Amino acid sequence: MNQSPVAMPSPIDPTFQDNPHAIYDPLRATEPIFHDTKLNRVVLTRAKDVGEVLNDRETLADPRKSLPDAYARRVFRVDENFRPNMLRMDDPDHKRVRSAVVKVFNQVSVDAMKGRIEQLANAILNPLTDRSSFDLIEEFARPFPVTVIAELLGVGNDSLADFMQWSVALSQVFNPMATPQELVDLAWGQQHLKDYFRRVVDERRARRGTDFISSLITAEEKGQLTEWEVLSTCELLLFAGNVTTTDLIGNGLLALLQHPEQMEKLRANSALLPGAVEEMLRYDSPITVTSRVSAETTRIDGCPFHAGQTISSMLDAANHDPALHENPHAFDIERENKRHYSFGGGAHFCVGAPLARAEAEIAFSLLLKRFPKLALDPSRPPVRKIAATFRGFSSLWVTV
């Protein structure tokens, strides 16, 4: 590992966000295992190293196991009250909670819901058909996934506007550079989400249904989950189940609009859609980084680590590694090699990947069918949202 005087830009630096690969490409070529002394973490940009860390069963996710000054403590805001949800748990707890979740939330349940997901998407798109322009994020990419995940969890339709507001506030959850106001909003969103699921879980305990939350409560009664695990999993699914897919739809549509020849190919052949969604995920990943805590045994490319260091795997950099993909910065929906790290990998591989893929395929299929003249609105350029870890737009105006 090299100790370098070069500093990575702040994750929310606007120039870096405009083109992160201008930083990652030279870094990968010269210092692929980079000691970011400013933030006290190790930054990985090669696909093979990212794959190695994510698949290493000894490397840890729980930031409480970090050294006192490690970056993971800052990014996950570890204090004496910190309790990990599934995303930051290690085995054996992680395995136990994850298996309770995937028992009911999996490819089969998503396949069974596809018709309903399409109905929900159509209902949101119907009022837009008469418009000449609209903000894709505000009017479709944000309400669509939140409506789907709320229905999947069996929670109130009347709370969708609240869910969206809380989720926007929660987008700063992994931003160690959040402003004081963003931190106030974050705490507000977290508290509301917590209170909401506390109420719903109590109600559902008394009146059990066939929904996802009821099944978690049943697992709790059988001693397979604790109450904290039920509540924190509901909160995680609601949040992770919407912002990320909003960003996939926004980033993916922008890529198509900026590459009209790819858009034409997709319009001409709908069989290309699943591959196009994988390329959207690879090309402009909605989640850009995930961090781990090194164990005594952790080695990357043969390089040993002290226990407790933060290892940041840059998923977007790995996706654009020329050792993984030829011509990695090209957007090519017919790319044969579909490999990417946008859903992570190993034990914490995204539980929602089947749902995100289904939603994106349905979204793009309907957008392209309904709007044959879809284009960027030249009078209102896309506005990137300022966040760390989550990459997407706060507005993306299109003309139809």
Q: Which is nearer to ligand HEM, 55 or 119 (CB)?
A: 55
Over its C-alpha atoms, the chain yields an Rg (Å, rounded) of 21
Type of residue found at 111: D
Kindly state the smallest distance separating residue 237's Cβ from ligand HEM, in Å.
5
Comparing CB distances to ligand HEM, the nearer of 266 and 287 is 287
Three-state secondary structure call for residue 230: helix
Give the whole-angstrom CA distance, residue 185 versus residue 55: 35
Beta carbon of residue 206, minimum distance to ligand HEM (angstroms, whole number): 25
**Among candidate residues 48, 47, 49, 75, the one with its CA nearest the CA of residue 61:** 75
Burial of 224 (0-12, 13-18, 19+ CB in 10 A): middle
251/285 Cα distance (integer angstroms) = 8
Tell me which residue has its CB nearest to ligand HEM: 352
Q: Residue 11 or 286: which CB sits closer to ligand HEM?
A: 286
176 contacts: CB under 8 Å, gap ≥ 6: 39, 71, 74, 75, 388
With respect to ligand HEM, which residue has the nearer C-beta, 9 or 344? 344
124 in Cβ contact with 144 (< 8 Å): yes
Min dist CB 349 to ligand HEM, Å, is 7
The residue (of 46 and 348) whose beta carbon lies closer to ligand HEM is: 348
Query: Closest Cα to residue 152, out of 237, 40, 44?
Result: 237
E strand spans, the chain: 2-3, 33-36, 41-44, 133-135, 289-293, 299-300, 303-304, 310-314, 375-376, 383-384, 393-395, 397-399
> Angle, nearest 10°, between helix axes 353-370 and 260-268?
90
> Considering beta carbons, is residue 172 or 246 the nearer one to ligand HEM?
246
Tell me if 381 sits within 8 A of 133, measured CB to CB.
Answer: no
Instruction: Name the residue type at position 102.
Output: V
Q: Cβ of residue 355: shortest distance to ligand HEM, in angstroms?
A: 4
> Based on CB atoms, which residue is closest to ligand HEM, 144 or 377?
144
State the residues that interact with ligand HEM by CB under 6 A: 86-87, 98, 149, 236-237, 240-241, 244-245, 248, 286-287, 290, 342-344, 348, 350-352, 355-356
Q: Using the minimum distance from each CB to ligand HEM, give the nearer residue, 310 or 377.
A: 310
Residue with smaller CB distance to ligand HEM, 60 or 400:
60
Distance (Å, whole) CA 96 – CA 336:
36
Query: Least distance to ligand HEM from the beta carbon of 75, Å?
Result: 11
Q: How far is the CB of 144 from ligand HEM (least distance, A)?
A: 11
Cβ-in-10-Å burial (0-12, 13-18, 19+) of 34 comes to buried
Write the DSSP symbol of residue 43.
E
Minimum CB–partner distance for residue 173 and ligand HEM (Å) = 13
